[in-house]
Amino acid sequence: MRAVMSPRFEDTILKHFSGIEDPRIDRTKQHLLKDMIAIAILAVLSGADSWVATETYAQAKQEWLQE
């Protein structure tokens, strides 16, 4: 069975982190900061304990994350 986040929960998380300034150089940005934060949170909640594990999670869940 697949877990589905309610729009309200998603909006709350994105709103909470929306004030964070992205320090990256514009030309090097490949992903939105808010997407990276959301993926990191979801990965840690799923047991990721390193950046490699976070990347593995993101790749495994890519289709679901893009919905």
> What residue type is 35 in one-letter code?
D
Rg (CA), the chain: 13
Question: Measuring CA to CA, which residue among 67, 58, 52 is closest to residue 2?
Answer: 67
Look at residue 7 in the predicted model and tell me its pLDDT: 63
Question: Residue 17: pLDDT above 80?
Answer: yes
Residue 42 has, within 13 A of its CA and on its CB side, a CA count of: 23
Give the residue with greater pLDDT, 66 vs 9: 66
How many of the other CB atoms lie within 10 Å of CB of 17? Answer: 13
Q: Which residue has the higher pLDDT, 11 or 28?
A: 28
Query: Is residue 11 predicted with pLDDT exceeding 90?
Result: no
- Comparing 59 with 31, the larger pLDDT belongs to 59
